[in-house]
Chains A and B, each alone.
Chain A
Amino acid sequence: MLNEYFSSVDLLVLKPAILLTLFAIGVLLTDLMLEPEQKYLNAVMALAGVGFAAYSLGPWPLGLQHQMGMAGADALEAFRGAVIVDSFGIYFMWLFLIAAALSILISIRYLEIEGEHRGEYYAIMLLATVGMMILAIGMDLITLFMGLELMVISIYILTGYLRRDRRSNEAALKYLLLGAFSSGILLYGMSLLYGLSGSTDLRIIASSISQRPAGDPLVLIAVITICGGLFFKIGAVPFHQWLPDAYEGAPHCVTAFMSVGPKAAAFALLIRMFLVPLASVRDVWLPLVIGVAIATMTIGNLAAITQSNVKRMLGYSAISHAGYMLLGIVSGNENGLKGIMIYLMVYAFMNLGAMAVIVAMRRKDIIGDEIDDFAGLVYKSPTAAVLMLIFLLSLAGIPPTAGFIGKYFIFLSLIETGHYGLAVVAVLYVAVSLYYYFQIVTSMFTREATDNVVPALSPGIRLALGVSLAMTLFIGLYPNPIIEVAGNTVASILR
């Protein structure tokens, strides 16, 4: 009878998530035995968990599928159809593990300085990663909702982690309130989807919606509410208000994590929702997505120009990046989706690299996130300045850095599908973005240093910076491997 409930396939498919959970609990337990100077061992354990989870995913990129004996485009269902493990899901699982590993590396020294170095931080971060993984592989409304909430509530806690810092408190509060509000709206849309189909399985919903007459008001309301909830999670206009505040107020290492991991997970959910249940009503949501993409690029880029706080500027730039990626959904063809996947992976490296430099700027009395703090960095620490330059160039999308590859495919897909106007607008905004990224560069290279404080590159930060730099340049110079992997992934979800 147990076979009816649970099969070994289910366990195998969730190996990474189970390992992360076990290590999260392990961190919580070992934290009790550690002296304050030994707290970095929590991070070591967390990294071990990420490492084991990565090992269980098999060799890059599709080791998990080979373990199951599947071919490339196959998809494996587990838990009675609640999750589907295809190359799309596995790609994102790798992304989340990379984001988690790099974030853990840069958190160690930062938390020591803040005096909040506790094991709970790493445990919550690992559990947030579990939630993200579920978002990438879920095929059922209930499963997706639980994964989403697990991820999001963990991030609320991490955002407010610096209890004594008012900015952190406020950021967490605003994020939680607006996040709960948008979850409510998303949930309302999900209830309509359930009503339209009688099931919570995305595929059954897809077939039910495709049989509806055009212009059905219920479908319209469902699309609008679900889009509203999803746009909030990725920080698209007009639901972007929480993002700059959350990025600015959260601890630097948490900003790094949440700018990369949860954003990618939210996009995975968005792609899944647009490609499966809402696939047949593309003509309903397409105008909406186009309008939101344009507004998002506009506000993201224009607002970033006036920012003096680097984290806030990166927050608005994150909004603009979400706008570019939405363009990939607009075109919706193979290159568009390929572009989004590559963009998200590359974004993980370059954004984490930039945030790692900001984390390194945190010294005893200096928060280190204003543009003025970067003045004359090239004289104080040329390494940090050059690294920041490369990451900023990549964020702007300048070849031969990796940031160019993602944008290239998305713009290519726009031209392929005839959205010439959008492509032109996007390229113009890329030019605009150069301006505000270079505000930081000019501060670093042309201004006089105002103090003698040198950013401290701890071993963890060095490792994270090294990996980010290596991948940013490697993918930029030799993009073929990642293009091929992304292409296979997209082929599996577009079939």
Chain B
Amino acid sequence: MQSVLPSLFFYALATMILVSAVVTITRRNAVHSVIWLISTLLGIAGLFLHQHAEFLAAVQVIVYIGGITVLFLFVIMLVNLDEAAKKKQFAGQWKIVVICAGALLAELGFFIFKGAEGFYFAEPAGGSLQPNTQLIALALYRDYLLPFELASLLLLVAMIGAVVLAKKDLK
């Protein structure tokens, strides 16, 4: 029983993620889509937690769900989407459907055919992921200092841009 539980978690979360994702892109009502997106993101946060990435799981919930999806909801409320709900939802581009489905099936077929060992990756180097937050902090401020500073510039630009583009009256 001990060894089955992790797999069970994975299958449960994976199902939740896939079902929510499919529903997200098939809803007509944008608010419904956002809610199902939240469900997808929660499932992913659960998988992060499952893989000992606690910091990222927390950031996923706080930033993605608590920030980005709330922003989506704000914008949906600000603009009037009633008439969008009445339009036909899918374009008739069936050829691309076939290509996408074909590519996906090819990859899955390869996986099933070769078995789980078919995809092989580089050797694990060993090391530790714990204590998670401390190690991430060390990495961010030492190994990845430059991208970190660039991230702050990026957020500055995004803030300026959002104000310049969306503010009602700029004087």
Contacts and interface: CB of A to CB of B under 8 A. Distances in A.
- Determine direct contact between A and B, CB below 8 Å: yes
Interface of A: 4-6, 10, 14, 21, 28, 79-80, 82-83, 118, 120, 123-124, 127, 130-131, 134, 140, 142-143, 145-147, 149-150, 153-154, 156-157, 160-161, 163, 172, 195-198, 208, 217-218, 221
Interface string B144-171: 1111001101101110110011000010
A195 B122 contact: yes
Contacts of A160: 165
A15 B171 CA distance: 34
B150 A143 contact: yes
A85 to B, nearest CB: 12
A127 B142 contact: no
B145 A163 contact: no
22 contacts: A5-B141, A10-B146, A14-B146, A80-B142, A80-B145, A82-B146, A83-B146, A120-B164, A124-B160, A130-B150, A134-B146, A143-B150, A146-B147, A149-B154, A150-B154, A153-B154, A153-B157, A154-B161, A157-B160, A195-B122, A198-B123, A208-B122
Contacts of A131: 150, 153
Contacts of A150: 150, 153-154, 157
Contacts of B125: 198
Given A146-B151, A160-B165, A120 B143 contact: no
Contact of A79 (B110, B145, B156, B165): B145
B119 interface: yes
A79 B144 CA distance: 8
A176 B145 CA distance: 27
A163 B141 CA distance: 38
B94 interface: no
Nearest to B163: A120
A122 B143 CA distance: 31
Contact of B170 (A118, A127, A147, A156): A118
B74 interface: no
Given A82-B146, A160-B165, A146 B154 contact: yes
B90 interface: no
Q: Which DSSP category, helix, strand, loop or mixed, fits chain B's interface?
A: helix
Contact of A130 (B123, B143, B147, B153): B153
A124 B161 contact: yes
A124 B157 contact: yes
Nearest to A221: B107
B165 A153 contact: no
A132 to B, nearest CB: 12
Contact of A142 (B119, B147, B156): B147
B143 A157 contact: no
A142 B146 CA distance: 9
Given A79-B145, A150-B153, A221-B107, 10 more contacts: A5-B142, A82-B146, A123-B160, A127-B153, A127-B157, A146-B154, A161-B164, A163-B165, A195-B122, A198-B122
Interface residues of B, number: 27
Contacts of B110: 217
Contacts of B154: 146, 149-150, 153
B142 A196 contact: no
Contacts of A221: 107
B122 A127 contact: no
B121 A195 contact: yes
B147 A157 contact: no
A196 B144 contact: no
Nearest to A21: B153
B165 A154 contact: no
A5 B147 CA distance: 14
Interface in B97-115: 107, 110
B158 A153 contact: yes
Contacts of B157: 124, 127, 150, 153-154, 157
B144 A157 contact: no
B161 A153 contact: yes
Contacts of A143: 144, 146-147, 150
Contacts of B151: 146
B150 A147 contact: yes
A134 B119 CA distance: 33
Interface in B111-149: 119, 121-125, 141-147
A142 B149 CA distance: 12
A337 to B, nearest CB: 26
A6 B145 contact: yes
A200 B151 CA distance: 17
B142 A157 contact: no
A38 B146 CA distance: 35
Interface string B69-98: 000000000000000000000000000000
4 cross-chain pairs, A with B, having the tightest CB-CB distances, nearest first: A157-B161, A146-B150, A198-B122, A79-B146
A231 to B, nearest CB: 17
A197 B170 CA distance: 49
B114 to A, nearest CB: 9
Interface in B44-66: none
A20 B110 CA distance: 49
A80 B145 CA distance: 9
Given A82-B144, A142-B144, A160-B165, A134 B160 contact: no
Contacts of A14: 146
A157 B123 CA distance: 42
B161 A156 contact: yes
Contacts of A21: 153
B167 to A, nearest CB: 9
A154 B150 CA distance: 13
Contacts of A147: 150
A218 B121 CA distance: 9
A158 B154 CA distance: 14
A82 B121 CA distance: 23
B86 to A, nearest CB: 22
Contacts of A161: 164-165
Contacts of A118: 164, 170
Contacts of B145: 5-6, 10, 79-80
